[in-house]
Amino acid sequence: MPEIAENGRTWLLSGPTSSYALHLTADDELLHLHWGPRIALVDAEALAVRPLPDYWPFESPLDGREEYPVEGGARFVRPALSVRTSEGRGTEWSFEAHETEDDELRLRFRDGGLAITLHYRMRGDVLERWVTLDNDGPAAVELLRADSATWTLPDRDGWRLSQLHGRWAAESRLVRSSLTYGEKVIGSRRGHTGHQHLPWVALDTDATEERGEVFGCALGWSGSWRIAVAQLPDARVQITGGAGYDDSGLLRLAAGESFTTPVFAGLWSDGGFGGASRAWHAYQRAYVIPDADQDRPVLFNSWEATEFDISEEQQGVLARRAAAIGVELFVVDDGWFGARTSDRAGLGDWKPNPDRFPGGLKPLGDYVHALGMKFGIWVEPEMVNADSELYRAHPDWVQHQTGRKRTELRNQLVLNLAREDVQEYLWGQLHELLSSAPIDYVKWDFNRCFTDAGWPGEADPQRLWVDHVHALYRLLDRLRAAHPGVAFESCSGGGGRIDLGVMSRTDQVWTSDNTDPLDRLAIQHGFSQIHPARVMAAWVTDSPNTQLNGRASSLRFRFVSAMAGVLGVGGDLAEWTEEELAEARDWVDRYKEIRPLVQRGDLYRLRPPEGGLSAVQYVLGGEAVVLAWLQAQHHGEPVPVLRLRGLDPTAAYECLETGEVHRGAVLLHHGLRTGLRGDLDASVIRLRRI
């Protein structure tokens, strides 16, 4: 429960190890007080009476200290809220009331007809923040920008910024750099979260993997977005973020309309980058990911094996082989519907291709079930090929601008999901599809960015960007409610739509189209900074990796790489030898044994994937598992030992691979020898407390 000072103007929210405090001045300025270790209300009150600095007129003492900087008045920072009415731009709010409900604090402000409510809710040590804007005035209000929150860091020297950048097939690469004066802006203006940046940043001054303060923020929004990290002239740092990339207009709120921003969550940890990641993971498993206590099955996906050249019979062959190696969920990827024999046609027509599946999907689904597996399919509902029945019938259903080119990417156009008729069409098609066959799983793809995001005839076409995301969320929510047994995977050409928003309505995400097991280690290292292994799908595919870089690697290396997440197999099993299939079966069995640790345990990144040896460790109760990879061994450079984490130093642990018994203290302080050698070697080492 939020604590409130007697004067009703200072608030404190606390998690198990952290606190967050804010204060309203007599002039209704909402000032940030504290984000960091746990403090008491008296401490927050002491902070509240510290005077603001006395600046010359060229700076504002409010800058870098406000909870949610609006536009106008003595403020020179990037506004979190920018509003235009017929009278002009800016906001001058007055405080109306605070409310608490369970663990949520709401602060209500008003500027004329616009009601502005700031929301705060502690979830563990993660603080969720968002804003609602209600236009109860008689006239429309234009929201040029409406961020979810602005985060303020304490005064420290030498801030460092961590971010996850990338591109297609090279997502979530971690980089750290010193923050300098000015702004660092990341985001997406593509209509989806994007491969280019995960909507997350972390700031620290001197943290290591296991020690030091880390301040992180992550946005739960699956459309265009922006996070700006600013170091102000007096060196204070603020982070502001929300939906939409530009300031040119997010939404027009007609009289009576409301807008709720996505959640921008923040976490303070003093457990270093590793501690921060574990706290993010625990938060997502407890509050974001649906049914996170249920482990995800081992899947097979047909894409890399068969691409568009598929048939019921051939999928049946793959299904038999998949079942034989222990796969639990068989997924038919692209190519099963409409005229989809290549990426040139068929998107939009969500009916099985009668040449390929004469009896629909039910016979294959039944067959897969009879083999003891669940059955899944691939869809890309937000898209349409120009060569499709849907587009021929409704050319006006795509995003477009009158008289302008309709840009095709991968030969496809984006449906205007802001339109209700499009929403109803998709609901009808997908509901029917899920009712027509025993489908347990849907891989939901999104394979191009917005380009011509127009909506002819609509008074406020700009709203399409925001409404698309809301419509997607509603569609997923509705399908989940109508088909509670069906699990969903978020995919966007690999990792192009991974964020806390989509993760709250999907069961796992497709991390990257890059299935090379070595490239994957860096992608997974970045991904794990924020998201847990429980959602991180990873496939074992063929060697050499013909899709991408031609690298050849052993089945062992490929499996151990993919076993760090939700294991899948995506190779052409029809071509695998009996020996390979037998080895795969062993690895799948081994994965099932460590799965609870990987999917529900605490992650410790023992060594990052930079050159030589890298390793991660998962700990759950008295069990631990280490996954270690040696990229290349050089003569004269011994392979390092791995100092383990999260063990009981007073206990003994049995290695389930060798039967050896190790002292916890020895493993923690002196390390474990992996025995890895040569190039691209890997191993799984299981330990159980005895």
List of residues 6+ apart from 386 with CB closer than 8 A = 406, 408, 411, 412, 413
Closest of 116, 147, 121 to residue 132, by C-alpha: 116
**How is 136-149 classified by DSSP, letter by letter?**
-SSS-EEEEEE-SE
Residue ranges in 334-393 that form contacts with ligand GLA under rule CB under 6 A? 334, 378
DSSP 8-class letter at 91: -
CB of 599 to ligand GLA, least distance (A): 21
CA-nearest of 458, 525, 524, 453 to 223 is 453
Instruction: State the amino acid at position 375 in one-letter form.
Output: F
- The DSSP secondary structure of 552-566, one letter per residue, reads ---HHHHHHHHTTSE
Q: 513 vs 623, which CB is nearer to ligand GLA?
A: 513
How much helix, strand and coil, in percent to the nearest 5, is found in the chain?
A: 25, 35, 45
Contact with ligand GLA (CB under 6 A) among 45, 66, 333, 507: 333
Closer CB to ligand GLA, residue 451 or residue 633? 451
- The CA R_g of the chain, rounded to the nearest whole Å, is 26
3-state secondary structure of 591: helix
Q: Dig out the tokens for 148 from the structure.
A: 């979810």
Residue among 125 and 382 whose Cβ is closer to ligand GLA: 382
| Binders of ligand GLA in range 203-222 (CB under 6 A) | none
Query: For ligand GLA, which residue has the nearest CB?
Result: 334
Smallest gap from Cβ 408 to ligand GLA, in A, equals: 15
- Least gap, CB of 335 to ligand GLA (angstroms): 8
Contacts of 76 (CB under 8 A, 6+ apart): 59, 60, 63
Based on the shown chain and the rule CB under 6 A, indicate whether residue 493 belongs to the binding site for ligand GLA. Answer: yes
Query: Which residue in the set 494, 517, 601, 609 belongs to the binding site for ligand GLA (CB under 6 A)?
Result: 494
Residue among 513, 519, 602, 681 that touches ligand GLA (CB under 6 A) = 513
* Distance of closest approach, residue 307 Cβ to ligand GLA, in angstroms: 8
User: Using CA atoms, how far apart are residues 644 and 624, in angstroms rounded to an integer?
Assistant: 9
User: Which is nearer to ligand GLA, 147 or 445 (by Cβ)?
Assistant: 445
Nearer Cβ to ligand GLA, position 204 or 387?
A: 387
CB of 442 to ligand GLA, least distance (A): 12
Tell me how far apart the alpha carbons of residues 316 and 367 are, in angstroms, rounded to a whole number.
Answer: 8
Alpha carbon dihedral 203, 205, 207, 213, in 10-degree steps, equals -70
Smallest CA-to-CA distance from 52 within 32, 69, 38, 72 is with: 32
Q: Which stretch binds ligand GLA (CB under 6 A): 28-36, 239-247, 397-405, 486-494?
A: 486-494
The region of 289-297, 487-495, 518-526, 672-680 touching ligand GLA under the rule CB under 6 A is 487-495
In the complex, the smallest distance separating the C-beta of residue 18 from ligand GLA, rounded to whole angstroms, is 37
Q: Measured from the CB of residue 690, what is the shortest distance to ligand GLA in angstroms?
A: 43
Give the nearer residue to ligand GLA in terms of CB position, either 93 or 510: 510
Interatomic CA distance for residues 120 and 106, integer angstroms:
7
637: exposed, middle or buried (Cβ count in 10 Å: 0-12, 13-18, 19+): exposed
Burial class (CB in 10 A: 0-12, 13-18, 19+), 411: middle
Q: Based on CB atoms, which residue is closest to ligand GLA, 303 or 557?
A: 303
**Residue 164 near residue 200 (C-beta atoms within 8 A):** yes
# chain residues binding ligand GLA, by CB under 6 A? 11
Contacts to ligand GLA from residues 157-196, by CB under 6 A: none
> Comparing C-alpha atoms, which of 597, 629, 624 is closest to residue 610?
629
CB of 275 vs ligand GLA, minimal distance in Å: 32
Residue closer to ligand GLA, measured from CB, 535 or 615: 535
CA angle 92, 93, 99 (to 5 degrees): 170
What is the C-alpha to C-alpha distance for residues 683 and 685, in angstroms, rounded to an integer? 6
For ligand GLA, give the closer residue by CB, 65 or 497. Answer: 497
Among 240-248, 251-259, 457-465, 489-497, which window interacts with ligand GLA (CB under 6 A)? 489-497
Q: Which of 513, 519, 542, 681 is catalytic?
A: 513
Question: Which one of 10, 19, 193, 447 is in contact with ligand GLA (CB under 6 A)?
Answer: 447
Stretch near ligand GLA under the rule CB under 6 A, chosen from 16-24, 120-128, 235-243, 490-498? 490-498
Cβ distance to ligand GLA smaller for residue 271 or 495 = 495
Distance of closest approach, residue 120 Cβ to ligand GLA, in angstroms: 37
Candidates 63, 111, 445, 681: give the one binding ligand GLA (CB under 6 A): 445
Q: Is 589 a catalytic residue?
A: no
From 147, 445, 519, 681, active-site residue: 445
Q: Does residue 460 carry a catalytic annotation?
A: no
User: Which residue of 289, 329, 491, 676 would you call a contact of ligand GLA, by CB under 6 A?
Assistant: 491
* Least distance from ligand GLA to the Cβ atom of residue 334, Å: 4
Whether the Cβ atoms of residue 199 and residue 163 lie closer than 8 Å to each other: no
CA distance 276 to 142: 38
Token pair 């939009």 is at which residue?
348
Return the residue matching tokens 């460590």. Answer: 594
Kindly state the smallest distance separating residue 565's Cβ from ligand GLA, in Å: 15
Taking the complex as a whole, the smallest distance from the CB of residue 167 to ligand GLA amounts, in Å, to 14
Segment interacting with ligand GLA (CB under 6 A) among 133-141, 221-229, 482-490, 491-499: 491-499
Listing DSSP states for 651-671 in one string gives SEEEETTT--EEEHHHHHHT-
Residues 286-305 that bind ligand GLA (CB under 6 A): 303
Q: Please enumerate in sequence order all residues whose Cβ is within 8 A of that of 578, keeping only pairs 6 or more positions apart, or say none.
A: none
Q: What are phi and psi of 543, to 5 degrees?
A: -125, 135
Q: One symbol per residue from 254 to 293: x for binding ligand GLA (CB under 6 A), - otherwise; what is it? A: ----------------------------------------
Nearest distance in Å: CB 481, ligand GLA: 25
182-188 sheet: strands from edge to edge:
149-152, 237-243, 225-231, 182-188
| For ligand GLA, the closer CB: 68 or 336 | 336
Nearer to ligand GLA, 509 or 685 (CB): 509
Phi, psi of 180 (to 5 degrees): -120, 180
Nearer to ligand GLA, 91 or 561 (CB): 561
Could you give the 3-state DSSP secondary structure of residue 521? helix
Stretch that binds ligand GLA, among 149-157, 460-468, 488-496, 622-630 (CB under 6 A): 488-496
| Distance (Å, whole) CA 332 – CA 229 | 42
Rounded CA separation 327/314 (Å): 17
CB 570 within 8 A of CB 546: no
The catalytic site residues sit at: 445, 513
Residues forming the site for ligand GLA (CB under 6 A): 303, 333-334, 378, 445, 447, 491, 493-494, 510, 513
